[in-house]
Structure 1
Amino acid sequence: MPDASVIEETALIRKASRQIDEYLKGDRKIFDLPIFAVGTPFQQMVWEALKTIPYGETRSYKDIAVQIGKAKACRAVGMANNRNPIAIIIPCHRVIGSKGALVGYGGGLDIKKHLLGLEGKKIVGDKIIS
């Protein structure tokens, strides 16, 4: 939400900030935050599937489509990924093209590469090699 602002720092905001900081330092692999992302029922299904991708692993758009029972909805999965309002916590950076290509990330591919690198992925150009 571009027009959103923090009116008051709450315990939850402090906890979220601390957990994101820990993740970026490599000290956190799982977030323990109560989250609710507003979206369509399809987007909600995709976002729930994204939360099941373990730290250090990736899935293709096709993998996510199959996981949610919509095997032909790869493009729709990509659009839901693009609409993810809570990046990092809902780990849309872990979704890649079917041949390991780094495609699409709201924060830009450089940030996606950095996040995947933090999680131990080796990247050459715009492709994961391990």
Structure 2
Amino acid sequence: MMNANCQALSDAVLIRAPFGGVRVGVHESQLLIELLALPETALVLSSQRNIALESISSNSLINLAAKQVMQYLKQPATVFSVPAQQSGTAFQQKVWQAIAAIPRGQTRTYSQLALALGSGPRAVANACGANRLPLVVPCHRVVAKNGLGGFMQGARNGLLIKQWLLQHELNNDGGYTR
């Protein structure tokens, strides 16, 4: 989720979300999205937290992405149309394409993606960790064989956000399949 790049953004917007916030910005002409967690005690109390845009950008790409993120947070059937290009190795690009193809309401394990890509689960997990467009490239839909797996490179309360995103899609889609 590339926190260092998001913290260095000069033009970004913040969206208030039930789990904390979503920062949307541009760095070196590429869109970046960062998920921000509330402290664990606040997460329990924030299930009804309003989704709201905290600021507006002069950058049309940022505003378009922010609008689509807000729509997703309200209704996960939202289809993102913002450019999903991000810098990465050829392997990372393959992983991100595979993740983007996972339908809403479904999950895949790191092992399933690794098998499909002829790689190992750890390499897939590392590519997930390098994803700078969570929600657009829905890495929260990639789980471990025996649980949620990782998320947000181990950031505090990252797994709570992953769980919220999966539950949000489940509540609005009728169930998960693997």
**TM-score when normalising by structure 1:** 0.83
Query: Structure 1 residue 40: deviation in Å?
Result: 1.1
1:3 matched to which residue of 2? 8
- Offset of 1:27 from its aligned partner? 5.2
Which stretches in structure 1 are left out of the alignment for 5+ residues? 122-127
Instruction: Show CA shifts across 1:52-74 (max 9, x none).
Output: 0011110000111122233xx11
Tell whether the 8 Å contact from 1:84 to 1:92 is kept in structure 2 after alignment.
yes
How many percent of aligned residue pairs carry the same amino acid? 37
More strand per residue: 1 or 2?
A: 2
- Paired with 1:39 and 1:68, the residues of 2 have a C-alpha distance of 16
What's the C-alpha RMSD, in Å, of the aligned pairs? 2.2
Hey, what does 1:84 align to over in structure 2? 131
Alignment pair present for 1:104 and 2:157: no
Superposition pairs of residues 1-130 of structure 1, within 5 angstroms: 1=5, 2-6=7-11, 9-26=58-75, 28-70=77-119, 73-99=120-146, 101-106=147-152, 108-120=158-170
Query: What's the offset of the Cα at 1:129?
Result: 9.9
Q: Distance in 1 between matches of 2:127 and 2:114?
A: 11
CA distance in 1, matches of 2:165, 2:82: 19
1:5 is displaced (CA, Å) by: 2.5
| Residue 124 (structure 1) aligns with | none
Structure 1 runs (4+) deviating above 4 angstroms are: none
TM-score relative to the length of structure 2 = 0.62
